[in-house]
Chains A and B, each alone.
Chain A
Amino acid sequence: MAIPHPVPFGPLARRAAFATPDAGRGAAPAEDPYRSSVTLTVNGTPHRLTLDNRTTLLDALREHLHLTGSKKGCDHGQCGACTCTVNGTRINTCLSLAVMHDGDRIETIEGLGSAQALSPMQQAFVARDGFQCGYCTPGQIQSACAVLEEIRANIPSHVTADLTAPVQITEAEIRERMSGNLCRCGAYANILAAIRDVAEAQA
């Protein structure tokens, strides 16, 4: 059952839903109402892009910056394969237009760790075989890191029994909070094991 990401935290409102067209993008850009300039800071590096207003944040990453680690599984916010963090909060980047993110800090899987220098969560996914085809995997890993942060920030979920006590890292909390990331290969049990390993190592 596909459940959208729980994103009850932090204002999603963006300050630049309709950015001013950039004068620097070539012939008569100011008259082109269909394109906008936007600066995205991706994995710490600022990128100035002039984009079709309809370009999603996901396609800005994949098609313009060639950061194809973030995947397009549905383009409708149903599968979670495109999950990245924006200003520290995970979102479905396919559901957000790039022009809404002028000045935002975006972290993609490529920023988390390279094949030669994997982060602890990436290592845990390999060690626990938390993937098969690999297509949902970057999104799962992005969500996995965010889930641990959200629990530590004491943000409750649907399965949090006691709202007056600190939220604990339990299997039920992890399963619930990961349920916006589909894995058709069915690696859920292994993903859970990987997240638990990282949580325990960080404890």
Chain B
Amino acid sequence: MMDFDQPAGDSRIDLSRILGQPATRIDGPLKVSGAARYAYEQHDVLEGQKVGYPVLATIARGRITAMRTTAAAAMPGVIGIVTAPEVGKMPKPFAFNVAPLFGGDEVVHYHQAIAVVVADSFEEARAAAARVEVDYAGETGGFDLHGLWPERREDARDPVARVGDFEAAFAAAPVRLDHDYSTPAHSHAMMEPHATLAHWQDGRLTVWTSNQMVEWARTGLASTFGLSEDQVRVISPYVGGGFGTKLVLRADAILAAQAARRLGCPVKVALPRPAVMNNTSHRAATLQRIRIGAEADGRITAIAHTALSNTLPGGRGENAVDQSRWFYAGAHRLFVHHLGEMHLPESNAMRAPGEAPGLMALEIAMDEMAEKLRMDPVAFRIRNDTQVSPEDPDKPFSDRHFSECLTRGAEAFGWSDRPLRPGSRRDGDWMLGWGVAGAYRGGPAMTSGARLRLQPSGRLLVETSMTDIGTGSYTILAQTAAEVLGLPLEAVEVRLGDSDLPASAGSGGQWGAASATAGVYAAGLALRTEIARRLGVNDADTLVFEAGTVRGSDGARSLADLAAEGEIVAEDAIRFGDFRKRQIVATFGAHFVELGVHALTGEIRLRRMLAVCDAGRILNPVTARSQVIGGMVMGVGAALMEEAAIDTGRGFFPAHDLAGYEVPVHADIPVQEVIFLDTADASATPLKAKGVGELGLCGVAAAIANALYNATGVRVRDYPLTLEHYLDELPA
């Protein structure tokens, strides 16, 4: 185990001959030709696969009193039906799950899985599932977050953090803001629905599944089925998007594994799209209150952020206030996060959990404060930038260049030419507006391992349980290995997504790229030591690995020659030490947007978008840029259209497919530009890298809301920014 227990020094990694260079995806040819096999597409791994189709609860809360399956079981092709009452109450698979996935007669949310019908074909399973009859004893529940808000917005009894005397400082501030903001529930809406093929043999369970976290999935399956972890194998080589909803096991995996065990055949289950919204997880809705007090010169003296979000009992909700603790200076501070216990489906992590909705509100508030202060919103943010924790001056940021993001962005966007007065610039029937917002997201890292095999053919094989959910893991891990061993990228192959391989950090919380490349780096150094041993050299650091050769005082040998004598293998992992926690390791950005609002219809059309990101060393500018523009697209959705509206009578999300829950399409997205600052955070990882996958989303929606205000003079504080919020206030 390599301990990362002090900041990284200079190393040959800093040369960035391969790592840090633009490289197209090594998995690209498989994906564009349809040859990459996702979880539901494993026809060649097993004979006799049967198809399971879920039966889902049609009440939000209560108890199953009867299930009649006889008619369904008699349908053509049906092999068996497994019901939740017969399985019995089961423990949650993993601490991070909130709702039970399958088992028992209790219903805790709408579309909870209550049976799975297995048949020879999808059509037969689906038809039979429709014939399962269920009686319920329903209970009422809480479904309306707004009802809790009037009381909670005033309640500061159990703060996340309190520094100084916020109330007094706010009362004394010459310039003050106090507003409420709201964000609706959001759906991950990844393109591949959750899917699993499960197979039992000799008491061992193998699943091919679509999951971001192979290790967590294995732990969850082992605990669910009473197995040891080495009796479970999880295979997840391609994941058709996750954004957080595939961090932990979902019902597809449990249904497939239960059915496969009880019916004695391999079973595959894909959640039908209309099941994804209510059966799996969503980003909680938030109601937020922000108070900011400042001196006339723009210095913030008091800041408070209170938020309320929905969660099932026992869940964590959506902590929308956390980034506000670290983003801007100000001596007197108060942060409160209320959990609103609701009986809606499970709210859980979605891309940039907390920051995404938190910054949707905070960065409007910052724009409003700048206006009150008659300051440029860029200058106001720079005025309140900080290099230390606003809660503890002895705790520095490891590497923070937020002001530079703003100034570089302002320059590149031509910000000095912005319309100063709202509603002052027109292009025909279009009112033009410009907006800016800041972005903040943590830079976490987790233990991650890998094994490297220098094969007799001279090719280098990288093996780790890491997943690639579209993030570019295959490519950046190959680049890392090539860099450390001095091989060309074409000489490296990468195997991912298999729990039989060395345990990795997995993909989530924008920790994946930073952690997994550090793990491959550790394994690469271990392999260099093994190569030195084969050469009879004591100290691998005396060797130079370059252009496919290893060179020492005795001359150079090609790695291929050396490996021809027998495969050379090394495995290692990186572990991140406590020194990291004595600083704040985070990522920063600034978003700039120009849009038009049609003067007659109120239609919003984006014209251009710019992101400037400070995320340490960029491991591959091609894949990193794609992560950022993808985050920006999701931010457009959050700003303009995405809303998982709640039926507060029945307690579910009625817009539960890709037509009802609207996400951005090609026609919604304008020219996008991304600038990465040339930074390197020595406290982040040995490669000085941090994630960007969530940073790209943070702040985008607020930049759009601020641009809407700049275009029209109408301030909208409730998302999405749909017509009912501003049409009747548009200038004549």
**Residues in A lying within 8 Å of B, measured CB to CB:** 1-3, 34, 52, 54-55, 59, 62-63, 66-76, 78-79, 81, 108-110, 112-116, 118, 122, 125-127, 129, 131-138, 141, 174-176, 178-192
Contact = CB atoms under 8 A, between A and B. Distances in A.
Given A182-B658, A183-B191, A2 B665 contact: yes
A188 B241 contact: no
B665 A129 contact: no
A71 B33 contact: no
12 contacts: A2-B659, A2-B665, A54-B127, A55-B121, A72-B40, A72-B193, A78-B659, A109-B32, A109-B34, A114-B33, A132-B630, A133-B241
B510 to A, nearest CB: 14
Nearest to B27: A134
B123 A187 contact: no
Given A76-B658, A133-B239, A184-B190, A176 B667 contact: yes
Contacts of B25: 126, 129
Interface stretch (B159-167, B515-523, B590-598, B631-639): B631-639
Contact of B672 (A66, A125, A189): A189
Given A118-B29, A132-B626, A178-B666, A126 B24 contact: yes
B375 interface: no
A115 to B, nearest CB: 4
A50 B460 CA distance: 46
A132 B243 CA distance: 12
Contact of B32 (A76, A108, A137, A184): A137
Contacts of B641: 1
Given A70-B34, A118-B33, A129-B24, A185 B666 contact: no
Contact of B192 (A73, A126, A188): A73
Contact of B191 (A79, A178, A188): A79
Contacts of B463: none
A2 B657 CA distance: 10
Given A175-B669, A179-B666, A69 B122 contact: no
Contacts of A188: 633, 664-666, 669
Interface string B15-45: 0000000001101111111111110110110
A67 B34 CA distance: 8
B175 interface: no
Contacts of A66: 43-44
Given A63-B122, A68-B37, A1 B630 contact: no
Contacts of B32: 109, 118, 122, 125-126, 131, 134, 137-138, 141
B124 interface: yes
A134 B623 CA distance: 13
Interface string B255-279: 0000000000000001011100000
B731 interface: no
Given A63-B121, A184-B188, 14 more contacts: A1-B664, A52-B121, A71-B38, A109-B32, A114-B35, A116-B29, A118-B32, A122-B29, A122-B32, A126-B29, A183-B633, A184-B634, A185-B191, A186-B633
Interface string B415-458: 00000000000000000000000000000000000000000000
Interface size class of B (residues with CB under 8 A): 35 or more
B33 A73 contact: no
B566 interface: no
A179 B626 contact: no
A138 B76 contact: no
B662 interface: yes
A68 B24 contact: no
A126 B658 contact: no
Interface of chain B, main secondary structure: loop
B191 A136 contact: yes
A55 B43 CA distance: 18
Contacts of B239: 133
A115 B663 contact: no
Nearest to A194: B32
Contacts of B123: 52, 54-55, 59
Contact of A184 (B40, B127, B191): B191
Contacts of B630: 132, 185-187
Contact of B667 (A76, A135, A179): A179
Contact of B629 (A109, A176, A190): A190
A62 B123 CA distance: 13
A110 B37 CA distance: 13
B81 to A, nearest CB: 19
A1 B658 contact: no
Contacts of B44: 66
A122 B240 CA distance: 18
A62 B121 CA distance: 12
B631 A74 contact: no
A112 B121 CA distance: 28
Contacts of B30: 115, 134
A139 B274 CA distance: 20
Nearest to A125: B32
A183 B243 CA distance: 13
A133 B664 contact: no
A1 B124 contact: no
Contacts of B41: 62, 68
Contacts of A176: 666-667
Contacts of A116: 29
A76 B34 contact: no
A47 to B, nearest CB: 15
Contacts of A118: 29, 32-33
A132 B33 contact: no
A185 B241 contact: yes
Given A52-B123, A192-B666, A184 B243 contact: yes
Nearest to B190: A184
10 interchain residue pairs of minimum CB distance? A69-B34, A186-B633, A135-B240, A132-B470, A133-B470, A134-B31, A186-B630, A68-B41, A109-B34, A126-B28
Contacts of B127: 54
Contacts of A182: 191, 658, 663, 665
Q: Report which residue of A52, A62, A136, A141 has the largest number of chain B beta carbons within 10 angstroms of its beta carbon.
A: A52
Interface string B460-471: 000000000111
Contacts of A59: 122-123
A81 B34 CA distance: 11
A75 B272 contact: yes
Contacts of B122: 59, 63
A110 B34 contact: yes
A129 B622 contact: yes
A135 B192 contact: yes
B95 interface: no
A3 B663 CA distance: 10
B576 interface: no
B238 interface: yes
B33 A76 contact: no
Contact of B666 (A55, A115, A126, A174): A174
Given A129-B622, A133-B191, A184-B663, A189 B657 contact: no
Nearest to B640: A1
